Amino acid sequence: MHAVICGAGIAGLATAISLQRHGWSVTLVEHAVSLRDGGYMIDFFGPGYDAAERIGILDDLRERAHEVDRVEWVDEHGRAHARLRYDRMRDALDGRLFSLLRGDVERSLREALPADVELRFGTTVTGVTQHDGGVTVELGDERVEADLLVGADGIHSGVRREVFGPEERFLRPLGLHTAAWFFRSDEVHDAIADRFVMMSVPGRMAGVYEVEPGLFATFFVFEEQSTAMPGDPLAALRERFGDLGGFVPAMLAADPVDDVYYDVVAQVEAPAWHDGRVVLIGDSAYAVSLVAGQGASLALSGGVALGEALDAESLAGDPAGIEAALGAFEARVRPSVAEKQAAGRKTAKWFVPATPLQIALRNLAMRVVDLPGMGRLVSPAIGVDAKGFAPATR
């Protein structure tokens, strides 16, 4: 059986590895011309950690992990008001937590990709036609026959738009915008030392951390109800955050060393993740958003679980079995995703507090969490999901 996967991010790579290991031939296509580096720093734990262990990339992720001593929340002048030490978080999760860039996870998956998976960069799906027994996938001027098409092409998925309908049916903006990029600055290095620092003022937050000597990653999140994108994101951010002090002026003045990522903060809610022989995975199907966290974890675990559900030997070439397996996969995974999305919607106002009182309450909560032994008591609040996406039993 042959699968075409659109999107070589975390979800697509994990799906490709899992499907190939379960007896499928796989063609993986990616619109970008090369593997992407960087992205947000993420706390990688939960179901994705368990799935990484199942497919054998956990040691590689451990080697790529960044040592983060603590995260601090500071005011507009750079004065710290709350902190959370990462050793407390790791203890709460029995050590099953890494701090990684999203690009680190993608790189580990790319290196684990089996040699017989066909990977095409600079290619994307331009048309889809379903028929009895399969799906015809258009890749530019080429038509490929497949038993399954997997849309792993992100929150603005073209496969979802082509097969399931326009984006506005599924995208649920949370009233925030976000941006991220890399830069170099000696001044910022002197200001933050070994900390992960987040400056929080009403309706806005700016964060920065050093990912390697002299190289910093930043991200911005701020209230914005419009979904319109600025023509010049960097200029818009300099205007919106230009009144802040501390490390922010130096951060905004430094030239990015890569493209500026800019997007709305949103969730994806789809009534169904599969239609015939087309299935969505990761952010295409169930983006939980930056404020919910664990998006990378859910993308990886979902991709691995999809391959496990579609084991070729168990399907025994039964065309009807593929669609039944997709239904079983969705029924198994959807409850955990829905729970995480609901938590994310509740978290949004505390992620970027809108008032000084909310900031003070958030800081107080973080100081309590940072007390010895408190991490285990509040671990459900930081997203620990004991169920995860365990392998399906057949």
Cβ distance 237 to 252 under 8 Å?
A: yes
Q: Tens digit of pLDDT for each residue in 39-56?
A: 677 777 778 888 888 889
207: CB partners within 8 A, 6+ apart: 196, 197, 198, 199, 218, 219, 220
Q: Answer yes or no: is 157 within a domain.
A: yes
DSSP alpha helix (H) spans, the chain: 10-21, 47-55, 58-64, 86-92, 102-112, 158-163, 186-192, 233-241, 248-253, 283-286, 295-309, 312-315, 319-351, 356-369, 374-377
DSSP alpha helix (H) spans, 67-165: 86-92, 102-112, 158-163
- Looking at residue 281, its pLDDT comes to 96
> How far is C-alpha 251 from the geometric centre of its chain's CA atoms?
24
| Domain membership of residue 309 as a residue range | 2-66+98-171+267-347
pTM: predicted TM-score of the whole model, two decimal places = 0.88
User: Residue 78: is its pLDDT beyond 90?
Assistant: no
Q: Answer yes or no: is 328 within a domain.
A: yes
Q: Which two tokens stand for residue 18?
A: 């899992």
Q: Tens digit of pLDDT for each residue in 368-394?
A: 877 766 554 443 333 333 223 333 333
Q: Answer yes or no: is 18 within a domain.
A: yes
Q: Answer yes or no: is 305 within a domain.
A: yes
User: Residue 153: is its pLDDT beyond 90?
Assistant: yes
- Looking at residue 295, its pLDDT comes to 82
- Looking at residue 313, its pLDDT comes to 83
Q: Residue 271's domain is classified under what CATH number?
A: 3.50.50.60
Q: Answer yes or no: is 336 within a domain.
A: yes
DSSP alpha helix (H) spans, 164-311: 186-192, 233-241, 248-253, 283-286, 295-309
Q: Answer yes or no: is 116 within a domain.
A: yes
Q: Which range (90-94, 125-129, 249-253, 257-261) has the least confidence?
A: 90-94
How many domains are there within the chain?
1
User: Residue 125: is its pLDDT beyond 70?
Assistant: yes
Q: Answer yes or no: is 9 within a domain.
A: yes
User: Residue 183: is its pLDDT beyond 60?
Assistant: yes
Q: Answer yes or no: is 131 within a domain.
A: yes
- Looking at residue 88, its pLDDT comes to 72
Cβ distance 358 to 349 under 8 Å?
A: yes
Q: Tens digit of pLDDT for each residue in 213-250?
A: 888 888 899 999 999 999 999 999 999 999 998 889 98
- Looking at residue 379, its pLDDT comes to 39
